[in-house]
Structure 1
């Protein structure tokens, strides 16, 4: 698969946001959303995660809160259904719906803070980040080599210009009978006429 490295479009940002919001509503992890979006856009999940955290999230902050609220309501409804299935006739017991809701709120908050990222997802993310780091290091090395080459060329041009300036000044002060020529290395040679 050939991974894209071009700029993000508004359409790409919306796709990323909609996918992340869907995963939040469903109680899934953002890592899975980044993987899914990366597959659709032919980008790495690390690139999607970076784009989400650096740019897109701020634009959709209110929708993120709304999605978390929907997830919370869905979890409460699921807890109510589970409690009713366990003992539908139970009205007075030490374990109440309020206890279940409080417990699930605590679980939801913990998931918000840490996320239920399985070890496989974390290992995938580490591998992806290591690959990105290696690619960036190669780019840095290439840029350093280009810089060094350009610096050498620049120094050579400056040296040649200085030599030419010296030659021009020397030619003006010498009698007309002396003729000089510059050799390949930038050195002046006196020609005998």
Structure 2
């Protein structure tokens, strides 16, 4: 049995899964994980994304859920830490209002960064999948058209062969020779014999 040189090994699949899970836990995106795996395995990030979504992800559903829980917990801990700092600052002195405001701005910036880092990538993924879907629809339409053309040609050939068979059988039963010619459409026409 021949094995393709570019086939994915179990080791490659595990590396892909572990890298994606790490990125999910850290609040990064799957696209960045695909880039990282693609660089490491000398593959395109699209090939890594296809492998993950079509095959590998099915075996890691629980791990993905756990990674998302860890990410959510880390974000919650960060928010609690900032809130705790703000609370301590507030109790120390009312003059620390500026540090409280700065902390809130920092927390807002972190949240916006997380939202912006995932949102465009999801939109990119959707656009990429829509493009692939349209390409596949066009390919299916092209193949259907080719099939229709080939079927028509096949039907014409079968019809011509049946006509030729009928004419040959008729020729055997009639003692006088028959002469035929083919018209421009490929149909056989009987020519009157000069007897």
Fold shared by both chains (TM-score > 0.5): yes
Q: Determine the C-alpha separation between the residues in 1 that align with 2:23 and 2:188.
A: 71
Secondary structure (helix, strand or coil) at the match of 2:187 reads coil
Q: Determine the C-alpha separation between the residues in 1 that align with 2:31 and 2:116.
A: 9
Cα distance 1:186–1:37, how it changes in 2: closer, same or farther (>3 A)? farther
Structure showing greater relative contact order (alpha-carbon pairs closer than 8 Å, 6 or more residues apart): 1
Secondary structure (helix, strand or coil) at the match of 2:118 reads coil
Residue 105 (structure 1) aligns with: none
More displaced, 179-188 or 163-172? Answer: 179-188
Pairwise mapping of residues 20-169 of structure 1 onto structure 2 (< 5 A)? 20-30=20-30, 32-34=32-34, 41-44=43-46, 48=49, 51-72=51-72, 74-75=74-75, 78=78, 81-82=81-82, 85-86=85-86, 87=88, 117-118=118-119, 120-169=120-169
Q: Determine the C-alpha separation between the residues in 1 that align with 2:123 and 2:67.
A: 27
Structure-2-length-normalised TM-score = 0.59
Instruction: Note the alpha carbon deviations across 1:89-140, whole angstroms, 9 max, x for none.
Output: x8xxxxxxxxxxxxxxxxxxxx9xx99732x334423432342233223312
Contact 1:26 1:71 in 2 (8 A): yes
Count of paired positions: 160
Consecutive unaligned residues of structure 1, counting only runs of 5 or more, are: 1-6, 91-110
Give 1 or 2: higher helix fraction.
Answer: 2
Deviation at 1:34, TM superposition (A): 5.0
Residue 102 (structure 2) aligns with: none
Residue 173 (structure 1) aligns with: 173
Deviation at 1:182, TM superposition (A): 4.5
Consecutive unaligned residues of structure 2, counting only runs of 5 or more, are: 1-5, 92-113
Deviation at 1:59, TM superposition (A): 0.8
Structure-1-length-normalised TM-score = 0.60
Secondary structure (helix, strand or coil) at the match of 2:180 reads strand
